[in-house]
Amino acid sequence: MLQKYEPVIGLEIHAELMTQSKMFCGCRVVDSVEAEPNTAVCPVCLGMPGMLPVVNRRAVDFALLVALALNCEVQSNNIFARKNYFYPDLAKGYQISQYEFPIGLRGYLDITLSDGTIKRIGIRRVHMEEDTGKLTHLSDGSLVDFNRSGVALLEIVSDPDIRSGEEARAYAMRIRQILRYLRVNTGDMEKGVLRIEPNISIRPRGAEAFGTRVELKNLNSFRALADGTDFELDRQAALLDSGGRVIQETRGWHDARRETFSQRSKEEAEDYRYFTDPDLPPLYIDEAWIESARIALPELPQAKEARYRDEFGLSDYEASVLAEDRAVAEWFDAAVAGKGAGASPKTLANWILNDLFRLMNERGRSIDTLPVTPAALVALLGQVEQGTINQTTAREVLAEMMDSGRDPSSIIESRGLAQISDEAALTSIIDTIIAGNPGPVANYLGGKENLLGWFVGQVMRETKGRANPAVVNELLRTRLERERM
């Protein structure tokens, strides 16, 4: 059906900002699931008449970081407006938001699709506002918790550039990753601190004009976003095919039934009667403020991925896994910066992705509570490079580093793990093995050269795996040749 129609999708994303206090009052921001209801409230966020809001500077810092990370033109002139509507979770009767003068305009975000191609999605605007309270509906009434009311909220609105459920998901995941990189949002969709609402329409392929759009609400996972979007695209196509028309409405996503359902129709555009909030003076963000935010901006995940691929020769997969989480990426970056001879970025990446991650999983450790420092991993790989220990032993040492936090050289020394490279010691072991195994020696000399591996194995057994394999190989070969004479 979608061969006939082209999907047109734009996303509105709401992200609570991780500030200590709320957007316009001093109330602390508490966990909306765990905190006692209505314990973090004051006359300002309860909407008492006569109370004056004051802008949270930290929230503006955070919003500025996001606007810059999304390549927006930062607006110096910021004006807060009242968006008027009545709802039980909004005590004032209006929400303070930004309307004509938001902090960021005309940005973009590049997303990577599953076939590896990169697509640029326009960002229409980024604006600051406040969150509403939370309603809980029971059979005999509704409860309202104002703890969340007034929490700093950022809205990120994309252009209608998205063309499928998969693209919607890729875009939303990138936004979440960037918000987490900037440490302005935890990305915890289950707790509702990040909320994603796609606007979805279709038009006949080749047509210029957009079709009527539907806005999808209560999507609490990326899967729900992709599946809900695809369902809605199919529903609209079937509707048009059967001669019907799409009506502009808000629809919900039923996660268990995997279908959308009508919530409220929006036939006429809502009139919020926006006007400048007379309680808040214009907020001027000067060049120096913007510049300090620019300096505070960390290297973003896309830039890290590109650097890992192009400079370090990592695969797309390795690059994206290492760049996924900022703390992991910075751990890797620190290891690369301290790399000794032999520990190439590729080698370090392999050790992190295979061994370190496995040990972290087994021990339930996160990167923030890791007893192993990047420098300690580099030191460990230096010991492999110098031939003090082999790869297998290095894995054992790393496991012990995870448990004790000790440095590799002291573990190697106290447990006597250093490789035996001493020729005299190895030669005497080899002599004993050759004397005790006349059969295999005869076969080897008779042409079964691959028996060399068997001899190496015997030496390893005698030395509990600590013999330097390169040295053993060399010594064995010469020693066996001497048996010919």
Q: Which residues bind Zn ion (CB under 5 A)?
A: 25, 27, 42, 44-45
Q: Candidates 9, 13, 459, 467: give the one binding ligand ADP (CB under 6 A).
A: 9
44, interface contact from ligand ADP, Zn ion, none, CB < 5-8 Å by kind: Zn ion
For ligand ADP, which residue of 19, 98, 132, 158 counts as binding (CB under 6 A)? Answer: 158
Of 271, 267, 272, 254, which is closest to residue 214 (Cα–Cα)?
A: 267
> From the list ligand ADP, Zn ion, none, which binds 12 (C-beta under 5 to 8 Å, kind-based)?
ligand ADP
Question: Residue with structure tokens 């195994």?
Answer: 437
User: Tokens for 88?
Assistant: 């039980």
Angle 363-367-370 (CA atoms, 0-180°, nearest 5)? Answer: 60
The total of other beta-carbon atoms located within 10 Å of residue 156's CB is 27
Enumerate residues 6+ apart whose C-beta is below 8 A from 57. none
**Rounded Cα–Cα distance for residues 484 and 481 (Å):** 6
With CB under 6 A as the rule, give the number of residues binding ligand ADP: 15
> What is d(CA 399, CA 359) in angstroms, rounded to the nearest whole number?
7
Site string for ligand ADP, 194-233 (x = CB under 6 A): -----xxx--------x--x--------------------
Contact 194, 314 (CB under 8 A): no
The pair of three-digit structure tokens given for residue 273, joined into one six-digit string: 């009667």
Q: Closer to ligand ADP at the Cβ: 5 or 308?
A: 5
Q: Counting contacts by CB under 6 A, is residue 8 touching ligand ADP? A: yes
What residues from 118 to 137 belong to the interface with ligand ADP (CB under 6 A)? 124
Q: Does 159 bind ligand ADP (CB under 6 A)?
A: yes
**CB contact at 8 A, 383 and 418:** no
Tell me which stretch binds ligand ADP (CB under 6 A): 134-142, 152-160, 344-352, 394-402: 152-160
Report the C-alpha gap between 390 and 412 in whole angstroms: 11
Query: According to the binding rule CB under 6 A, does residue 11 interact with ligand ADP?
Result: yes
Q: Could you give the CA distance from residue 240 to residue 221 in angstroms, rounded to a whole number?
A: 28
Smallest gap from Cβ 11 to ligand ADP, in A, equals: 6
Nearer to ligand ADP, 226 or 475 (CB): 226
Alpha-carbon Rg for the chain, nearest whole angstrom, is 31
Q: Are the C-beta atoms of 231 and 213 separated by less than 8 Å?
A: no
Contact of residue 213 among ligand ADP, Zn ion, none (CB under 5-8 Å per partner type): ligand ADP
- Least spacing, CB of residue 45 vs Zn ion, in Å: 3
Considering the complex, state which of residue 252 and residue 298 has its C-beta at the smaller distance from ligand ADP.
252
Minimal distance in Å, beta carbon 89 to Zn ion?
Answer: 15
Where on the chain is the footprint of ligand ADP (CB under 6 A)? 8-12, 124, 157-160, 199-201, 210, 213
